[in-house]
Structure 1
Amino acid sequence: MFRSLSFLRLWTGTTASGVATWSLPFILGLAVLERSVTAVELGIVLAARTAGFLAAVPVAGVLADRHDRRRVVLWAGLVAALAAPVIALGMGRSVVVMAMAAAVVGAGQGACRPAFQALTAEVVAEHQRQQANAALTLSVRVTTLVAPGLTALLAVVVDTRVLLIATGVLWLGAALIPPAGAGRTPITTDGAGTRFTADFLDGIREARRHPWFLAGLGALTAVIATGYSATGVVLPLVSRDRYGTEAVLAAALTAYTLGALVGAVLVARWTPRAQGWTALAGLACYGFAPLSLLLPVPAVVVVAAYVLAGVGIELFNVPWFTATQREVDPRMLARVSSLDFLLSYGLAPVGLALIAPAISHFGPEPVLAICAAICFTAPAAAALVPSSRDFRAVR
């Protein structure tokens, strides 16, 4: 794959956007430790970024199907690159400026996601897309594993404002480096159909043509909104109260990333016969994470559960992206991808907002039990849809 200059440019651009996306909350967390911003200001800025992301995703999906996808990536990256230094400018001076700039960065991030997904299908031949998607997700996992330590080391020698400006440089790379895609004929409509709403509804109708997609998206959204949210809230508490050390928290999160690395490498070399069922089984593996926090097990079992969850999530992600690129009408791929990101990522904050008060009211045990059950049963229910066996239309 990396012998292809076009794919190398695509991989570099997506990696740059991934590093920039991941690093913003971490850098702002360092700023809280330095007392440059308060915890409340951090929450406001990150919420504004999420709002910008959610607002931009459906718009970008339509634009990337109407226009050249490379151009959408370019403008989205440039917008984020210009806004990132403004966050640094507002730090310690105006939380409003920081929040507005973060919303623009989030919009750039949200606009990139469906455009990159569709551009991958244009740059990479169909028989190589599974390996390509595995390589793309592998870069994200390596970044998550290595970048915290490197960023913390850099923060010792440079100001956090400089690190924020560096994220703008990364976004500039994400804007300028990716290659042009293959020529295509976008779907065009006249009259009322040229409006955004009509175009987005066309994307929804295209998604409905693929029952496996709706079933898989429902399962993914359920797992993220429940299991992912619950473990995010409960893991620090369990690490502190049950095991008496934050080391379990750090070990579990690292184990999840290492498991995802293993999963990405595995799925790059392995194509199971019932690919969709295998992917959904991998997604269900996330249920072991809340289950391990529910049961009074040794710390090593919690770490092992997170390894299994990490492996499983990539066994799902890579075939999921590959199947979407293969099955969906290429002229509507960005819109369908935007629907994917809008629901799966968009409902994660909602899950977090509901899980925390639920734990406070009912206690962690019943909430974890329900979330684990949903993580296991939602992918199983999705597997009952006939076309889910191979993530392919039944013919």
Structure 2
Amino acid sequence: MLRDFAFLRLWAGTTASGLATWALPFVLGLAVLDRTLSAGGLGLVLATRTVGFLAAVPVSGVLADRYSRRAVVFWSSAAAAVAAPVIAAGLGWSVPLMAVAAAVAGAGQGACRPAFQALTAEVVEESRRQRANAAITLAVRVTTLVAPATAALLATVLDTRALLIGIGLLWLAAALLPPAGTATPPVGERTRVAFVAEFADGVREARRHPWFLAGLGALTAVIATGYSATGVVLPLVSRDTYGSEAVLAGATTAYIVGALAGALVVARWRPRAQGWAALSGLALYGFAPLSLLLPVHPAVVIAAYVLAGIGIELFNVPWFTAIQREVDPGKLARVSSLDFLLSYGLAPLGLALIAPAVDAFGAPAVLGACALVCFAAPAAAALVPSARGFSRPAEACRSTVQQ
């Protein structure tokens, strides 16, 4: 895939956007350490970034289906590129300015996600998309594995403002690198349809694919519970049960290593029942909260997070590939925006609720419930007939064409 110059440009742009997305909260955390930003200010800036992300995702889905996907990638990434030095300018001087700029950065991040997803379907032919999606997710996982050490090393020679400007340069690369797509943007009456009506049309397209609704429900449930357990309960268990942060660091690294392994496997693996295999992979995340339920050996926790990492990529790559294959190309960005909006958009809600739940019911009960949801939700999704292959039956497709 990396010998395909058009895909190489797309891959590099997507990687740059992923690295910039990851780097902002980390660099702002460094600002807290050097006392140029308070903890409260950090929370406000990250919150407005999330609000910007959630607000932009559905808008971007409509715009990327209405206009050029390449243009949406450019303008959304360019907005984030401009926002980064503004955040740097407000550091140590104006938290409100930083918050506004972070909202713009979050909007750029959210807007480019569905546009990149749709652009991939234009740049890469169908037979190669699974390998393409695997290559993209491999790059993202590698950056999250090596980027913390790289950022910490850069912080020894550069101040936080310089690092924020570096994030802006990454977004600029994301804006400029991707190639043009092949789709022709719609013209005439369609471009004058109201935004809400166009987004509703994307929702109707999503409803035409029962496997998509079932898989999205399972993914949302796993992220809201399993990811929340990792984000909130894992640090507590690492401190209180094992007496150090070593298990937290080991489990986090093990998850990324597992995800790398999963992406390598799924790049070439083509099971007959691809949807069932992907949902089985998603269910593996249940072992993560389950491993925190009892005071087991740390190696058990590490192994559970390796399994969770493998499983999430066994799901992600076929999931993205199926969406690109099955969804009407003219509505692909809107369906992708619905995917990101519900799955990752609702993640902060799970993070906000899990700590009060632990206080009210205790960590064992909450972890047990999270593990149960992670196992049960994909199993329930697998019961939908079209979930077996992440595709609609041929009879249903013919019926739709005849209508």
Q: Structures share a fold, TM > 0.5?
A: yes
Number of the residue aligned with 1:259: 258
Distance (whole Å) between structure 2 residues aligned to residue 29 and residue 330 of structure 1? 40
Distance (whole Å) between structure 1 residues aligned to residue 231 and residue 29 of structure 2? 16
Q: Deviations over 1:235-278 (max 9, x none)?
A: 01111111111111000000000000000000001111110000
Q: Deviations over 1:67-93 (max 9, x none)?
A: 000000010011110011000111111
> Which amino acid in 2 is paired with 1:127?
S
Distance (whole Å) between structure 2 residues aligned to residue 38 and residue 286 of structure 1? 34
- 2:65 touches 2:185 (CA, 8 Å); kept in 1? no
- 1:188 touches 1:194 (CA, 8 Å); kept in 2? no
- 2:263 touches 2:313 (CA, 8 Å); kept in 1? yes
Q: Deviations over 1:60-117 (max 9, x none)?
A: 0000000000000010011110011000111111110010000000000001000000
Secondary structure of 1:186's counterpart equals coil
> Which amino acid in 1 is paired with 2:238?
S
Distance (whole Å) between structure 2 residues aligned to residue 30 and residue 185 of structure 1? 43
Number of the residue aligned with 2:353: 354
| 1:188 CA displacement | 6.4
| 1:322 CA displacement | 0.1
Number of the residue aligned with 1:201: 200
Number of the residue aligned with 2:94: 94
Number of the residue aligned with 1:150: 150
Q: Deviations over 1:121-167 (max 9, x none)?
A: 00000000000000000000000000000000000110011000100
- 2:285 touches 2:307 (CA, 8 Å); kept in 1? yes
| 1:183 CA displacement | 3.0
Sequence identity of aligned pairs in percent? 73
Number of the residue aligned with 2:16: 16
Pair 1:53-2:53 in alignment: yes
Q: Deviations over 1:288-331 (max 9, x none)?
A: 00000012211000000000000000000000000000000000
Number of the residue aligned with 1:238: 237
Distance (whole Å) between structure 1 residues aligned to residue 365 and residue 225 of structure 2? 12
Distance (whole Å) between structure 1 residues aligned to residue 189 and residue 306 of structure 2? 48
Pair 1:69-2:69 in alignment: yes
Number of the residue aligned with 1:271: 270
- 2:48 touches 2:100 (CA, 8 Å); kept in 1? yes
Number of the residue aligned with 1:34: 34
> Which amino acid in 2 is paired with 1:186?
P
Number of positions where the alignment pairs a residue of Structure 1 with one of Structure 2: 394
Number of the residue aligned with 1:303: 302
Distance (whole Å) between structure 2 residues aligned to residue 173 and residue 50 of structure 1? 22
Runs of 4+ residues over 2 Å off in structure 1: 183-191
> Which amino acid in 1 is paired with 2:86?
V
- 1:54 touches 1:107 (CA, 8 Å); kept in 2? yes
TM-score between both structures, scaled by the size of structure 1: 0.98
- 2:68 touches 2:185 (CA, 8 Å); kept in 1? no
* Higher mean displacement: 146-155 or 358-367: 358-367
Number of the residue aligned with 1:163: 163
- 1:264 touches 1:311 (CA, 8 Å); kept in 2? yes
> Which amino acid in 2 is paired with 1:290?
P
Pair 1:182-2:177 in alignment: no
Distance (whole Å) between structure 1 residues aligned to residue 275 and residue 78 of structure 2? 37
> Which amino acid in 2 is paired with 1:350?
L
> Which amino acid in 1 is paired with 2:385?
P
* Higher mean displacement: 182-191 or 76-85: 182-191
TM-score between both structures, scaled by the size of structure 2: 0.96
Alignment of 1:203-218 (within 5 A): 203-218=202-217
| 1:187 CA displacement | 7.9
Distance (whole Å) between structure 1 residues aligned to residue 325 and residue 259 of structure 2? 23
**Distance change (3 Å), C-alpha of 1:28 and 1:262:** same
Number of the residue aligned with 1:334: 333
Distance (whole Å) between structure 2 residues aligned to residue 23 and residue 185 of structure 1? 33
- 2:67 touches 2:185 (CA, 8 Å); kept in 1? no
Distance (whole Å) between structure 1 residues aligned to residue 295 and residue 15 of structure 2? 39
- 1:79 touches 1:108 (CA, 8 Å); kept in 2? yes
| 1:341 CA displacement | 0.2
> Which amino acid in 1 is paired with 2:124?
V
Q: Which runs of 5+ in 2 are unaligned?
A: 395-403
> Which amino acid in 2 is paired with 1:25?
P
Number of the residue aligned with 2:397: none
Number of the residue aligned with 1:81: 81
